Structure 1
Amino acid sequence: MTPEQSAWFAETFDALVSNVSLALLGKEHTVRHVLTAMVAEGHVLLEDAPGTGKTSLAKAISATVQGTHHRIQFTPDLLPSDVTGVTIYDQGTQRFEFHPGPIFASVVLADEINRASPKTQAALLEVMEEGNVTVDGITHPVGRPFMVIATQNPIEQAGTYRLPEAQLDRFLLKTSLGYPDRASAIEILAGAKDRTAALTARITTQAVGTMADLATTVHIEEAVLDYIARLLEATREDGRTALGASVRGGLALVRCAKVWAASQGREFVLPDDVKDLAQPVLAHRIILDSEAEFAGVTQAEVVARVLEVTAPPTVRAA
């Protein structure tokens, strides 16, 4: 990445954040995290209470990148074909035709993903991983950019199917929106309208692909890679965890750190980029020991402790 390209990247990324933030007041940091996941070509898990703006976030992002948006309400009777699509025989043409499901969109909101059956959850996660849908032996690409924003309600657990840890690991990052501060809440209440309707596109979907390609060229020193590896090891060695972060978690951290660095106009990753992203990228990949969980320990506390005891590099590796 050249200095000119990094400057364009940072300027464009800031414009995207500013545009989406017009619809989600007071949530710029979370918006940056979600847009980082989109440019890193990953997916986001939002664990939040109802009414915090999850649907508005997905709509605002799709409008900002001139893309499409679909919302899927996950219920126990939802079938995999309701998500991916189905092949139907057309008597007029005497041919089978594929009817795409709602998964074919730039931004897909999978609302309350844990309410669907494991079979339907697996179908969604397969599309997320592969980037295409295969029906009757024919592969259909979902396009680029493609991001799933899946939501979970942390309060109501009755009638839900908990996502297995292996499937949680496939989300690039996990975050939450939370409630707005008082000033933002007053501004929202004063408007009392859908703010996403007034948003205009800032870039095209093709430009998002260009940003994703540029982000992969951001340089990351071996010393920073060693720092990430030591963080992963520390999560596994912590006495409060039954299972620490995997290598996939480390790869996710590298991908996000490259986008994070480019969004700040740099062609290289700093240890501070890793620190900023460790919480949303690694916390949901950690399985706590039963005693620690019973004692009220959280994955976020484990990551915070790991960051505290693992020294970042201060000089370049030789």
Structure 2
Amino acid sequence: MQRPRLALVPGEPAGVGPELCVRALQRPWAADLELFGDADVLLSAAQRIGLPLERQAPDTLSAPGGRFALHHLPGAAAVEPGHPAAANATSTIAALLAAADACTANRCHGMVTGPVHKAAINDGGIAYTGTTGLLAAHAGREVVMMLANPTMRVALATVHMPLREVADALTPALLERSLRVLHAALRDDFGIGDPRVAVLGLNPHAGEDGHLGREELDTIIPVLERLREEGLRLEGPLPADTAFLPAKLARFDAILAMYHDQGLPVLKHAGFEQAVNISLGLPWPRVAVDHGTAFDLAGTGRADPSSLFAAIDACTRLAATRAARNPTP
């Protein structure tokens, strides 16, 4: 595969996603981009921020970056930046699923998504906890969320749940599945032949030999020992307060954190603008921006496109690596 084809989905039409996509179309990429969303929203966003974008045919957009295929999925309600409309929930989800279908059919080789507003989707009558879960259910796969920037990769054993529920959710089966998915993705999508993974403990000081909690002794250590016997290179459980020191980070290809706010604040402090959200375990690469809809910035032209640009670059690399490992006959 010489040039990957990537599905690009703006996400919530009233957020910053459409104008960030317009900015992406102003420059050439190492992949061909196909837009899945409402053409009128994209054209209005371009006009609002003063950037060139034309719809040259029903299925084509033209901008300084080139000509881009368009899959027009119109919303039901007019879009006002900063003010999400529940009536547009159906078209927002339809764009994500249409892009997923294109990837499943190998018409696209990866998927890049802008931010989606959970409340607007649920207010529109669609049960939705996040795009990662939506795509996982659509593909029938178990997935792991990983955030990455040029400094580190941090995967999560548990994601969006109250802190008081994390210990009960952290079962041996969940931990083993997370590590297997992470290991396979590092090998197959990132091209790392023998990945090295640091596994954080759940409790302070990784439990202090059971004095600060038994999750390490009862759950984490037995899983690590079993997987090490299979040849996985896993170190831990490590205390989270020292695992991110530069000298330690240099020894690992990724870190598995036990819960959302254990690892992500460090990653975002180390480089929020270049951070991306990667769904590991799907049949195709999916990379998302690592920020929300930013309704306060929508329509102002001041939203930073760095995360979207990084997501496109990352998805291009992942698609190319996967294609090299599994060439199409």
| TM-score normalised over the length of structure 2 | 0.29
Which structure's residues are more often helix, by fraction? 1
Which structure's residues are more often strand, by fraction? 2
